[in-house]
Amino acid sequence: MKSPRRWFIAGGLVLAAGIAGATASTSSQLSFVRIASTTPDLLFTPPALVRHLPTPEPQYAIYMTQCVVGTPSMRDSLVKFIDETKLNAVVIDIKDYAGKISFPTANPVLAGSVSDKCRADDMKEFIEKLHEKDIYVIGRITVFQDPFYTKNHPEQSVQSKSRPGEPWKDFKGLSFVAVNARPFWEYIVELSKESYALGFDELNYDYVRWPSDGPMSDIVYPTVNHTGDLERFFQYLSENVKPTGAVMSVDLFGMTTTNIDDLNIGQQLERALPYFDYIAPMVYPSHYPKSFLGLGNPNSDPYKVVNYSMSSAVRRTIATTTSIASFAYTRMGTSTPAIYEKPSYDPRKLRPWLQDFDYGKDYQPQDILDQTRATYDAGLTSWFVWDPANRYTNLRQVLEASQ
């Protein structure tokens, strides 16, 4: 048994909304609606009983792509890997880099975005099977990078200066929705609620930022308050998704743990902390600049990169003051520079993404071991491991050696 079990009703009272004279009853954890009527009593069929697992502590997770989850033979091998090791969670794409959704839905807001190539028509049943194995299921939602949505709603995109009215594109040809596009916020909330009702235990939000890695001089930004607009999105997301009971996590650039500026993408650690249950910095050594810690090639010392980054994140997370403004924090006095009072958060709120893919060098099992050790030495307990190819050869060797 990897973790204890619990049960929830997904959308238990949704049917009561907007129905005059409706009253709700609860029996044996099943909610139903009774309609006041002169005809014999009518009962709506209660919503399906959806099972959710509590968040494991510690948590060890791997990532599963949208195409893999739609291919039973491939996903089954990963489930076997999880089941046979101390891994206890999986991160599955709900909406990937292309903007397409990985499961079928009749929801009119979402149905047009369902992928016709990479999807799992049996996603609900697959999640149930994972729960039977006590595997915690996290759904990853790629947020503002969404070329499908921008194609249909170019007016809500970060636009191109050289191609007026058209979406700007990064070096991979991918486009971004503007962070302050409120109709898109509603779309993401609708997707979040649908996903939690399907059975996902946690919702993990990625690409929550303004764009980078492209011809930046060609961008037309619709706003100048990049950090404020992103925090307003965090606030909106929290206010509208958290009441469902969903656990919420967010992926941030690794250097948000060490930088206090917004890295030109709007992300600051302190401005995310109030709105999510967990923060997942992507501390892949290959993605750090050559100047980081004077290493020349950060790939040469994965332990140092991860430990330094996550130790810094821990200090900032547990601190009771910060120089970074947030709508959730109160300024202390009138001194300059400004200092703000913030809650001291549990450091276990931090769960880093670690690297198990070759970029800049061939990663070996020792590199994975060094990253996990660096995480523990920073006082943390949990981690995610990313391999876009879903092979996890190095991690497999590390975990099998420790069995």
Higher pLDDT, 5 or 257: 257
Indicate the pLDDT class of residue 2, thresholds 50, 70 and 90: low
Cα Rg, the chain, nearest whole Å: 22
Residue 374: how many CB atoms within 10 A of its CB?
26
Cα–Cα distance for residue pair 254/196, rounded to 1 Å: 27
CATH of the domain at 382: 3.20.20.80
Residues 203 and 244 in one domain: yes
Range list of H helices, 85-154: 123-132, 147-152
CA nearest neighbour of 82 among 27, 43, 138: 138
Each residue's pLDDT tens digit, 268-282: 999 999 999 999 999
Domain boundary among 51, 67, 84: 51
State which residues form the domain around 329.
52-401
Residues 181 and 202 in one domain: yes
Indicate the pLDDT class of residue 147, thresholds 50, 70 and 90: very high
CA nearest neighbour of 107 among 22, 184, 193, 181: 193
Residue 43 has pLDDT above 50, yes or no: no
Each residue's pLDDT tens digit, 163-201: 999 999 999 999 999 999 999 999 999 999 999 999 999
Read out DSSP for 363-378? --HHHHHHHHHHHHHT
Indicate the pLDDT class of residue 48, thresholds 50, 70 and 90: low
Residues 33 and 154 in one domain: no
Each residue's pLDDT tens digit, 110-130: 999 999 999 999 999 999 999
Residues 16 and 118 in one domain: no
What's this model's pTM, rounded to 2 decimal places? 0.89
Q: How many domains does one find in the chain?
A: 2
Residues 30 and 62 in one domain: no
Indicate the pLDDT class of residue 46, thresholds 50, 70 and 90: very low
Residues 37 and 89 in one domain: no
